[in-house]
Amino acid sequence: MQQLLYLTEVSLNGLTTGVLYALVALGYVLIFKSSGVFNYAQGVMVLFAALTLVGLQRGQVPFAHLWTAVFGTHTYLFGWNLPAVVAIVMTLGVMVLLAILVERLVLKHLINQHPIVLFMATIGLAYFLEGFGDLMWGSDVKRLDIGLPVGISETIESFTAATFGYGVFVDRLDLFAGLVAAALVFALTVWLKHSQLGRTLRAVADDHQAALSVGISLRLVWVLVWSTAGFVALVAGVMWGAKSGVQFSLSLIALKALPVLMLGGFTSIRGAIVGGLIIGVGEKLFDFLMGPIIGGATESWFAYVLALVFLMFRPQGLYGEKIIERV
Amino acid sequence: MFYREVGDFKTTYAADSQTFPIAFDRVRYYFVLIVAVLLVPFLIDDYWSNAVFVPLLVWSVAAIGLNILTGYCGQISLGTGGFMAVGAYACYKLSTEFPDLNIVFCILISGAITAAVGMLFGLPSLRIKGFYLAVATLAAQFFLVWLFNKVPWFYNYSASGQITMPERTIFGLAVTGPNVEPWAQYLICLAFVFGLAWAARNLTRGSLGRQWMAIRDMDIAAEIIGVDPLRAKLSAFAVSSFYVGVAGALYFSVYLGAVEVTEAFGINQSFLVLFMIIIGGLGSIFGSLVGAAFMVLLPIVLRNILTRGLNWDTALATHVEFMVVGCLIMFFLIAEPHGLAQLWNIAKQKLRLWPFPH
């Protein structure tokens, strides 16, 4: 019984990590669905959004180290603390600005290029953003605190302790993240299905040329979708940042969203969520069961190998559209 | 004027497909070789060997390897770092288990072992392609690094988890280990680069290379005209991994001497090699060499300007370096998708017509 409960706890923790993976994966799906660009930089966008949020909230001077090196100013803080809501809105503004710039400076010039070229361009973007984010806000590990619930949920622990004689630990932040993810998915689905803009997005996703010919501005749609992905990145960044601090490893965690996508299928929002949950639970359980036998830290590769094996049997993923090729 | 063939009087296929049809190019090629073999070893010192020449040559081998897979056969791989680790660990195990084995054979056998591992991880390419495959090769990257970290047999149960290369000699001359002369280091790497680049150039213009390019341009069409995708893709993975494995073995044994797997063969190394071939030119052996030179020299130049010239601290310089590299990647993909090699070709075309361009 004890073992079983412990297993449940491991799975529950896996589920909540999976939700966070799914949040990052959502950003990839949005961009891929509507522009066919596989945006490698999504992971770094998560980091960048979180960095910007913390920086704005704490009133850091952007590029402080650079100014110090060039002009010798030595001013690192403005000396104010913004309320969380204001900082979040401002960060959103920054992400929209980023989307506009990416469209203007990069994507516009790469229309009609091979998808692989676009993919490699986003790798370049990822490198740029990585350096830019660190240059702007400094590369030290930052604590993100915007008043989210943290710590062990005592209600659940005392409840399970009273009923089964074993207290199950669940982080309150994880529960909150699950709720936020559910709300986000619901909102995105409704938005894509029923709003004017959502319909436009889906039209572009279906067929670029047909969409152009009925008067849809491709460039506007790209800005829009990159902004949405920026928003999703911000949400993911807040959750991950509150959980493990804002630092460089955040963009590596985001790499995990790739196998999530492969498992779920690149074009499906539902796939991102289900894939995230499968990978989250899978890697925790695998490490729990197999870790002692083959040596721990299997979490670093399990997701990739799982996706690799899965793809051998179903190349389009769980919910992806069937890949049809013609000469 | 001087850079031009006089008429087109070729009578044999061999003459038609020669690498340097213009006399000036042939002379230049031999000139570069002579300088590299007869001049540089006498001038080289510790700094130039360790900071510039040896890394340049080692990364060139890796870049040629990845270019065979990505540039010629069209299969993107993000597992280069992992495969280099296979080469390095194979070289370590071979040279410690068989101390009498010559280091050259050690390195070549390491390449062969890596080729086998590469073929194993290349199997999914028969089912999946494009960035699906790119992500799948990430599995190789993370799994291999984890494996070398977790299984103590690979690092001979050393306490630190590091592997350290013992001293090995060729004709009584130390080429690895702590007592190695800079010029010996340089020459062994140069020999490998020359041999492998020559082999790659001839492989890629032969039947096998043409099969790879057919697969790259359109795999279904290639299959219809009789290219066996299984053979072509797996041979590309094998040859490419052989090169990458040799690069890994050289990187560990000749260049660094002691490595820790997560640091030396992480995912950043995979990206570095990918950047080399994008900037140098996909599908070009010359491009791989130029790309490697560019990516090795760029950080050195930047660091010299920023930290020595402007007195910035190194963290700041590293951030700027990231930004510059990222910008360059995007710039090259937009402005010249075929990289520096294409710029070089354009320059040659112009020079051919000069001074009468019309």
Residue B194 domain-assigned (yes or no):
yes
Residue B128 domain-assigned (yes or no):
yes
Across the interface, of A139, A298, A300, the residue whose CB is closest to B315 is: A139
Is the pLDDT at A115 greater than 80, yes or no?
Answer: no
Is the pLDDT at B314 greater than 70, yes or no?
Answer: yes
What DSSP element (H or E) covers B280? helix B267-280
State the pLDDT confidence band at A327, using cuts at 50, 70 and 90. Answer: low
Give the number of domains in chain A.
1
What DSSP element (H or E) covers B138? helix B131-150
With beta carbons under 8 A apart, name residues in chain B contacting A301: 139, 142-143, 146
Residue B349 domain-assigned (yes or no):
no
The 10s digit of each residue's pLDDT in B23-48 is 888 888 899 999 998 888 888 888 88
> Going by C-beta distance under 8 Å and a sequence separation of 6 or more, which residues neighbour residue B179?
B167
Question: Residue A150's pLDDT is what?
Answer: 67
CB pairs under 8 A between A and B: 142
With beta carbons under 8 A apart, name residues in chain A contacting B143: 301, 304-305
Across the interface, of B130, B146, B149, the residue whose CB is closest to A115 is: B130
Average pLDDT over residues B292-314: 86
Q: Are B274 and B80 in contact (CB under 8 A)?
A: yes
Across the interface, of A65, A124, A315, the residue whose CB is closest to B330 is: A124
With beta carbons under 8 A apart, name residues in chain B contacting A298: 146
Strand partners, A77: A60
d(CA B71, CA B75): 8
SS3 category, B258 = strand
With beta carbons under 8 A apart, name residues in chain A contacting B324: 131
The 10s digit of each residue's pLDDT in A253-273 is 767 888 888 888 877 888 888
d(CA A11, CA A288): 10
A123 to B274: CB separation less than 8 angstroms, yes or no: yes
Q: Which of A102, A120, A132 should one mutate to test binding to chain B, selecting the residue with the greatest count of B CBs within 10 A? A: A120
Residue A44 domain-assigned (yes or no):
yes
Q: Are A238 and A104 in contact (CB under 8 A)?
A: no
Residue type, A81: N
Is the pLDDT at A164 greater than 80, yes or no?
Answer: no
* Planar angle of CA B298, B302, B304, nearest 5 degrees: 120
Q: Which of A263, A300, A316 should one mutate to test binding to chain B, selecting the residue with the greatest count of B CBs within 10 A? A: A300
Give A297 to chain B, closest Cα distance, Å: 8
The 10s digit of each residue's pLDDT in B85-143 is 999 999 999 999 998 889 999 999 999 999 999 999 888 888 777 777 887 788 889 89
Residue type, A16: T
User: Which residues span the domain enclosing B213?
Assistant: 43-265
Question: Residue B61's pLDDT is what?
Answer: 96
Across the interface, of A115, A124, A259, the residue whose CB is closest to B329 is: A124
Q: Are A49 and A228 in contact (CB under 8 A)?
A: no
Compare B221 and A10 and report the one with higher pLDDT: B221
B322 to A130: CB separation less than 8 angstroms, yes or no: yes
Residue A54 domain-assigned (yes or no):
yes
With beta carbons under 8 A apart, name residues in chain A contacting B278: 120
Is the pLDDT at B209 greater than 90, yes or no?
Answer: yes
Percent of chain A residues topping a pLDDT of 90: 8
Lowest mean pLDDT segment, chosen from A11-25, A73-87, B330-344: A73-87
Which residue has tokens 């089912």?
Answer: B127
User: Which residues span the domain enclosing A177?
Assistant: 2-256
Compare B82 and B308 and report the one with higher pLDDT: B82
With beta carbons under 8 A apart, name residues in chain A contacting B142: 300-301, 304
d(CA B297, CA B309): 16
Give the tokens for residue A227. 């902004």
Residue B229 domain-assigned (yes or no):
yes
Residue A293 domain-assigned (yes or no):
no
Which residue has tokens 């070289």?
Answer: B91
Is the pLDDT at B244 greater than 90, yes or no?
Answer: yes
State the pLDDT confidence band at B212, using cuts at 50, 70 and 90. Answer: very high
SS3 category, A171 = strand
Residue B354 domain-assigned (yes or no):
no
SS3 category, B237 = helix
Compare A152 and B136 and report the one with higher pLDDT: B136
Average pLDDT over residues A240-254: 76
What DSSP element (H or E) covers A1? none
Percent of chain A residues topping a pLDDT of 70: 92
d(CA A125, CA A73): 30
Q: Are B177 and B168 in contact (CB under 8 A)?
A: yes
Residue B3 domain-assigned (yes or no):
no
d(CA B247, CA B115): 12
The 10s digit of each residue's pLDDT in B318-354 is 888 889 989 988 988 888 888 899 999 898 888 888 7
State the pLDDT confidence band at B193, using cuts at 50, 70 and 90. Answer: very high
Residue type, A266: F
Give the number of domains in chain B.
1
Using CB atoms and an 8 Å cut-off, which of residues 122-151 of chain B contact chain A? 124, 127-128, 130-132, 134-136, 138-139, 142-143, 145-146, 149-151
Percent of chain B residues topping a pLDDT of 70: 99
Using CB atoms and an 8 Å cut-off, which of residues 5-64 of chain B contact chain A? none
State the pLDDT confidence band at B161, using cuts at 50, 70 and 90. Answer: confident
Give B334 to chain A, closest Cα distance, Å: 6
Prediction pTM value: 0.87
Average pLDDT over residues A4-33: 82
